[in-house]
Structure formats: structure tokens, C-alpha cells
Structure 1
Amino acid sequence: MCNGMGESFEFAKDHTKIPIEPPFKYQFWEVGQRSRNLSQWITTLDSQWGSKLSKQDKHLLVHAIEETAVSLFPFLQPPDTKQDSTAPLSALRDSYTKGSKGIVISAGGSDSSVRFAGHLIASIRGVLGCTLPIQVAYAGENDLPKHRRDALSSLDKTHNTEFLDVWAFFDDAALQLRRGGWAIKPFAALASRFEQVIVLDADAVFLQSPDVLFEQRAYVNNGAYLFHDRLLWQHAFQDRHKWWKEQIKEPSPAMNKSLVWTKDYAEECDSGVVVLNKSRPEVLVGLLHIAWQNTYDVREEVSYKITYGDKETWWLGLELAGSSYEFEKHYGSIVGWGKEDDMENKTVCSFVIAHTDEEDKLLWYNGSLLKNKLVDPHNYEVPIFWMMDGKWEKGGKKDMSCMVDERAWWLNGDEISVLQHSIELAVQVDELLGLGEQN
């Protein structure tokens, strides 16, 4: 036993002697390989075999885990306001409530983000009847002032909404989350007390209760469930694909199912909804890799330059860390409106991407309840058609994107009712927050 633990300790020392340093572009694979060691050691520690280790062997294993974790992910060390921890990863894992499930929504940074978070909370509670606890994540007092937190809290009639200041968990010096926009999301997922967590963009719109995400076969089997982006721009981003091929040296079965990987399309993930089970060590370590990609230096050099924002960091972190994960079966669908001259009913247009559950029923879409959040902050409109597996015709800021060449389906009565009621509550939220006139 001691030889095995000693070997782990030597690996950890090697990792410390040869730290991950810039330029980061070609370090993603190496971070993934070291993450796989970390995942294996945690799995061993948590196992029945780990419980039988001698005190000395267990000490060596814990030391290897913590030394490797801090060398790879220095953001794990608590902020200066807290005493330095010799075991920050263990402390983080111990902070999770065993068996807990919940929702995390990032709502700081702008009035529009607060507004959409309000719409989402009101719909989840008042329309869909979801009782999962909610944590609203932000980065410091100026990111989401108390009067905004109080207003959002008042929207939850179940009184089960909490607030999660990510600055209280991680030293922001290397993260700069107030400047990062989307970058806060993986750190909020890490910091959340929920063991099983649904991470939501504030502008997500649900047609079913978020509870059903935890019931999807792909999530139950893998512990990490993701959603696809639009299938667009085949062969258009050769530098991006070349870099992916260089860093993903041994693609997983999940990767080999990807049309982005196998057919050279541009974008894989719509990260507006991500579902993770942090009780699985390989998923937690994959999340750490995702968070590393969203640290300031890495995102400014690589992650947000080669791809768009945080979207591709989610699957890439899980892939490189050797985590089990699965995407929804279809690439991005659409909800929206038909064209007057579309006599065959084979065109649906809007500004959003829609997603289905494992039974091909509409589950959620991105982009808010507004018809076009980027142009008109007042115009709510219920979409009436949807389509999946068609061909995308990409629009712009003012021109809707369309999906064509497949059958357009009517939204059913229950789906229309959910959206109508959600819009009614959204108008009330706008009045409460005083944000309906904001662009």
C-alpha cells in the first residue's frame, strides 16, 4: 500500500516542481492529465479500499491530492480575509450538503441580468411549481447590491432563495470575475452548497420544471449533462479545430459522437443550462478544469479568444479531465414564428435556441421571454412554432435566425399557457424592480 501512496506523492511533487505556466494555449492537455491523477486519487480516498488505508498512507494520499489541486488550481486557496487552508479542496467538498439538489443562477453585473433572473425565479416558482432551492450568484456587494438581492428574494413565495457571493470562496485576484461576465458560472457551481447543481443563465426560459433535468437518463448515467448549440459554419474555423485536435489527443466516446468533432462544425455547447453531480469525483475535477479555463489569464489568452465566451469550456474541461458526460441527443432546436410566404410550414424564425428532453419534448430555450432582448426591452411575445433537426440560416442582431427544411410543430396548449403566464409575471417583476424601461 505504502508504495502506491508514495508513488502518488512523487507525482504530486513532480506537478509542483513543473507548474502550469503561460502561454496556456498548449497546456490544456497537460492540465487534463494531471486532473485525471487527481480524480483517481480522490476516488481511491472515497472508496472502501481508501477507508482501510493506514494512517500514514492516508496522509500521503491526502497530501498528494491537496498539493496537486493547489498547484493546478491556485484559486482554491481561500481569499486573504480567511486563514490559509492546508486542505482547501477537502474543505470545499466538506461544504457540500450531502444529497442536496438545487439551482444556481448568475445574476450580477448588469440591470438586465437582474431583470431576467427575476423573470426566471418568478416563472420557476409561480408557473412551474418548482421547489428546488435556488442560489443567486454574484461577485461582491457592488455586483448585486442588497436592495437588488432583497427584491429578488421577494419574488420567491417559497422563501427558498439564497445568495452566493463567490468572492467569499475564491481569491478574485486571479479570477477578476466582475470583469468576466460568464466566467463566474463555473466558480458559482463550485462554491454552491448543492451537491447536484443546475447552473442557469439568467435569461433561460423553461417550459417544464427544472426538476426534470435530474431525471434525464444522460444525467443519471453520467453525472454531467450538457446542451448543444446551433449546428453552424461547417469548415469555417480551422484554427479552432486544429487546436482542439492538438489538445484532445484521445477523444472519448462522447467526443466521437460530436458533429463538431467529426464533421467540422463550429460550436458545440449552449451553456445556458448545465447539470452536474459534484459528488462524483471525476465530475468535480472536470468542473475544476472548466473553472481554470475561466480564470482571467487563461480566458484572456485562450478560452475567450479561440471560442466564444464560456460555452466550449464546459465540455472541454470534462473531456480533458476524463469525466463522464453526455449532451442532449439533438443539436440546437428553435422556437419562434413562421413566415407568411411559407406555405409548406417548413420555416421557424426567432432569436433563440431551444432544447428538448430525452423524449423530444420542449424543455427550455435561451434569450429571455422578450422577442429580441438585444433590440427591444419591452416586446414580449409568445412563440407559436418550433422545429428540430432542420438547417440553420443565421441572422443577426436585428434579423431573426431561421431553421428550415423540417416540419414546423405548433407549441401545445400547456406550453403556450406556461409562456403566457410567465410573461404576465415578468411584467409584474419589471414593475417591482423598475427595470422594464432599461435596454
Structure 2
Amino acid sequence: TIKVPISSYIKGMVSWIAMILFVIYVSACILLLPIRLSGYQWNHVFSRYVASDHTKQLSMNSAIDFNDIVADLKMYSLQHSQYLEEKLFSRWIHREMAKTLEYFSRQNNLKGIVICTGNGHFLLTLVALHALQSIGNTMSIEVMFSTSTDLSASNQKLLTNQFPAVRLVDLSTIFNDSYLELRGWEIKPFAVLASRFQHVLLIDSDVLFLEKPSVLFENELYLRTGTLFFYDRLDLSPKALRWIRSISMKSIGTIPHRTQESGVVLIDKGRTLMGLLSTCKLNEHEQRERVTYKHLHGDKDTWWLGFYLLDMAYSFIPSRTASIGHIHRHTVCGHILHLDQNHQPIWWNGGLFKNRYVNTRDILPIEVWLEEGTWTLAIYSCLINHRQKPRSFNQYQRHLIENYTQITKHVYNIAPG
């Protein structure tokens, strides 16, 4: 028998332990590294932030010229300096920075749906979730809000009980809510930014689909640019156009003259993170209160504008709007309907009520649809098109509409009939 000196045995054990610890250390480092997503590191903007004296001074200075912000955004898209990161984004950071960083270090290549909600339109959110089940959606869903003032604890519990697979996210645990105050339209781009999905389909609570929403991710325009936007009914006002030109004199793209409808927005964050950050910047508290919302209607046109300011490509579905509803004196009255590139109905917003702001008992009779002609916009909008006749829905679409009607009546406790 060969006897091994105890000292050699101990040295061997120490070497093995050291090797095991080294492997564990390397593995942990790899696992903790933010996943690199199509060339962008998600925590690039936030992970290097430290509360330096310079940053604190920037946070105290609220009189930064808006044109300087636009110039800084464009410069940052070309040169990711820590100075510009702190100047542009430091006030978004949650006071416990780790809470913000957590959301920018666990990204993936998944596709999913994001819905923003609050107490005021909570029932619409329940309708939307039931409707997505009805159409056979298989994508994961995140529902976002900001603080229990925005969505009460009882409503949070109700939603999670009815939809246990849906992930409910309080954005005030991720971002600095005392600065951003995300209570309205402005929450939407930040919800996309915070989503765990790389490919995000953002929808409003009153959006209903006439085909599976996942088909939008297959659209050639989305595949080309990593974005997909839809037009609204109105053109941009001359005042808005003048303001946009005044802040984007060096931008080389073309300004769309039609306003954007932000009821449905598709974003590939892996390819378009800089554009999304730019859109978020336009919607942060200081900028929206001081500048952006004085020229634009909420978040709508900040989506394409955030990309335009950085000379980044973005895509609009080229077809114009349509109306969905019933025939009334040679017009189709109801809600705005959106078409795909083949001019076929794909989604509408406004839900199933004629006007939910006036009466949540008066269900809209949906019988036909009509491509855009001349709109008469009011509490109850109507569309006339002398070149076309109203069109009927196919059997599948009629089935969906009937299901959505029954879902709405059930959620709002409306008697059948």
C-alpha cells in the first residue's frame, strides 16, 4: 500500500476546493451578467448610475432647455457616455437602485402583451383579458399600474384571482414614482421599457381584436424596423407640426402628417431601445408637463417622434382608419377600426359601449364596417364614404363580436337581452 503524506492530501483537497469555488464564481458571474439582447445591454443605461455630486446637481436643475434634451438624446444614441446617462435618465431610478436594475438584467427573446390599467378602467381590462382568452391568445400577458392609488389592492386581488397566469406589475417598485408620477397616458412607454418581454405588444384596455394579435409580430414592417404603429383619424395640427420642426431641424426623416393611434403599439426592444428611451424621455413628468403635452395629445405621437428625433426607422401600417358599428342615415356610427396592409379589419378600440364615459349599459350594435371617408367626430363618431358601401363581417368575425358582447355584459353585470 502506497501511503500518501497527509500534507499532500490536504494540498490536493485545497486545490480541488479552490477549483470548485472558482468554477462557482465564474458561473455566478455569467448568470448575473445582464443578457446581451441583440447588441444592447439592458442595464447599460442604469447600471453605471451612481449618485455623484454632478448627478445630484442635475436632478436639482429643472430648467434644462428642451432643445438641449433633444440634442443630448441624439448624442447619447451615438455615444453612450455616462455623463449623458446621468443627465437624461438619473431621475427615473428607484431610490433602491437594485429594484430598477433587476428589470434590466433579466431580458429574453419572448413575445408578450402589455396592458396598462387603473381603477378607472379596471373592468375594461377584465373584458380585454377575457377577450384575449376567447380569441385563443397564447402569448404571456403583463398588466401594469403604478401604486395602489392607481390600482387598489382589492382590484389587484380580483385580477390575480381571475387570471393567475397574468403577471401584475407595480411600476412604482421599478421606477422613481415620486418623480415620474405615472398615472395616465405617460405610463405606457415606461411599461414597455419595464416589460420582461423583448417583443412587446402594448394594447389599451378597450382594444378588441378580430384576429389573433400574434399575427402582428409577423408583419413585414415590424420585421424590418422593430416597430409597428397605426394612424389615427386626424392630421397633426399646424401648431404641432411647427413645434416638431423646431425641435428636429437636423433630423433627416419624414414627418407623418397624420396623428398616431397608440391603442396598439409593437416594439422590439432589442433593436430599438434608444428610440424607446427617447419616447420615455418625452413622457417623463417634467417634459410632459412643461413641453410635450402642450403640443401633442398625450403619449400618441411621442412614439414615432422619439424615433424620429434620433433618425431611427419606424413603421406605420399604411392603411387609414375605418369605422365599426351600425348604419345610421347613410353613415356607419361607432368606433375607430384599424385595418391591416390588405385593408382587412384587425382591431378596434372603444370596446362594446356606444360611449363608456356616458353610459356603461348602452351596448353598441356592431353590424358592419366601412373604410375611411369623411369623419364626423363627436361623443359618438360617424363615418361616410361615398365611394364604398358598408361591409359585413365574416362568420369568424361575427362569432368573436358576439363573444365580446357577452363577455362585456358579464363583466359589467348587464342583464342578457
TM-score by length of structure 2 reads 0.79
Pair 1:196-2:199 in alignment = yes
Q: Which runs of 4+ in 1 moved over 6 A?
A: 15-20
Conservation of the 8 A alpha-carbon contact between 1:286 and 1:322:
no
Report the CA distance between 1:196 and its aligned residue: 0.9
Match among 167, 173, 198 for residue 172 of structure 2: 167
- Number of the residue aligned with 1:405: 386
Report the CA distance between 1:202 and its aligned residue: 0.8
Stretch of structure 1 that moved more, 189-198 or 369-378: 369-378
SS in 1 for 2:321: coil
Pair 1:183-2:224 in alignment = no
Match among 266, 269, 276 for residue 287 of structure 1: 276
- Number of the residue aligned with 2:111: 101
Conservation of the 8 A alpha-carbon contact between 1:337 and 1:383:
yes
Match among 61, 67, 84 for residue 68 of structure 1: 84
Distance 1:194 1:414 in 2: 30
**Which amino acid in 1 is paired with 2:397?**
E
Distance 2:407 2:56 in 1: 56
Runs of 5+ consecutive residues of structure 1 not aligned to the other structure: 1-11, 42-63, 261-266
Change (3 A) 1:194 1:390: same
Distance 2:57 2:242 in 1: 26
- Number of the residue aligned with 2:265: 274
TM-score by length of structure 1 reads 0.75
Conservation of the 8 A alpha-carbon contact between 2:104 and 2:194:
no
Conservation of the 8 A alpha-carbon contact between 2:119 and 2:155:
no
Distance 2:179 2:173 in 1: 14
Conservation of the 8 A alpha-carbon contact between 1:382 and 1:420:
no
**Which amino acid in 1 is paired with 2:106?**
S
Distance 1:403 1:252 in 2: 36
Match among 330, 333, 340 for residue 357 of structure 1: 340
Conservation of the 8 A alpha-carbon contact between 1:104 and 1:200:
yes
Report the CA distance between 1:213 and its aligned residue: 1.4
Stretch of structure 1 that moved more, 381-390 or 419-428: 381-390
Report the CA distance between 1:17 and its aligned residue: 12
Identity level (%): 28
**Which amino acid in 1 is paired with 2:358?**
V
Report the CA distance between 1:200 and its aligned residue: 1.1
SS in 2 for 1:337: strand
Match among 132, 138, 148 for residue 139 of structure 2: 132
Change (3 A) 1:16 1:142: closer
Distance 2:286 2:89 in 1: 13
Pair 1:422-2:404 in alignment = yes
Change (3 A) 1:372 1:169: same
Conservation of the 8 A alpha-carbon contact between 2:353 and 2:361:
yes
Report the CA distance between 1:228 and its aligned residue: 0.5
Conservation of the 8 A alpha-carbon contact between 2:370 and 2:391:
yes
Distance 1:429 1:373 in 2: 14
Match among 121, 130, 148 for residue 129 of structure 2: 121
**Which amino acid in 2 is paired with 1:116?**
L
Report the CA distance between 1:109 and its aligned residue: 4.3
Pair 1:146-2:153 in alignment = yes
The structure that is strand-richer by fraction is: 2
Change (3 A) 1:83 1:303: closer
Report the CA distance between 1:391 and its aligned residue: 2.5
Distance 1:71 1:403 in 2: 50
- Number of the residue aligned with 1:242: 242
**Which amino acid in 2 is paired with 1:30?**
A
Report the CA distance between 1:67 and its aligned residue: 3.9
**Which amino acid in 2 is paired with 1:101?**
K
SS in 2 for 1:137: strand
- Number of the residue aligned with 1:376: 359
Aligned length: 361
**Which amino acid in 1 is paired with 2:352?**
L
SS in 2 for 1:279: helix
Conservation of the 8 A alpha-carbon contact between 1:272 and 1:366:
yes
**Which amino acid in 2 is paired with 1:391?**
T
Point out the structure with max Rg over C-alpha.
2
Match among 38, 54, 71 for residue 30 of structure 1: 71
Q: Deviations over 1:229-253 (max 9, x none)?
A: 11447xxx33221111122224555
Distance 2:239 2:354 in 1: 34
Distance 1:390 1:360 in 2: 14
- Number of the residue aligned with 1:329: 318
Q: Which protein has greater RCO, CA pairs closer than 8 Å, 6+ apart? A: 1
SS in 2 for 1:230: strand
- Number of the residue aligned with 2:222: 219
SS in 2 for 1:94: coil
**Which amino acid in 2 is paired with 1:278?**
K
**Which amino acid in 2 is paired with 1:22?**
A
Runs of 5+ consecutive residues of structure 2 not aligned to the other structure: 1-48
Cα RMSD (Å): 2.7
Report the CA distance between 1:318 and its aligned residue: 1.4
Change (3 A) 1:24 1:335: farther
Q: Deviations over 1:1-45 (max 9, x none)?
A: xxxxxxxxxxx9xx989979636443453143124225xx5xxxx
**Which amino acid in 1 is paired with 2:394?**
N
Distance 1:424 1:410 in 2: 20
Stretch of structure 1 that moved more, 160-169 or 21-30: 21-30
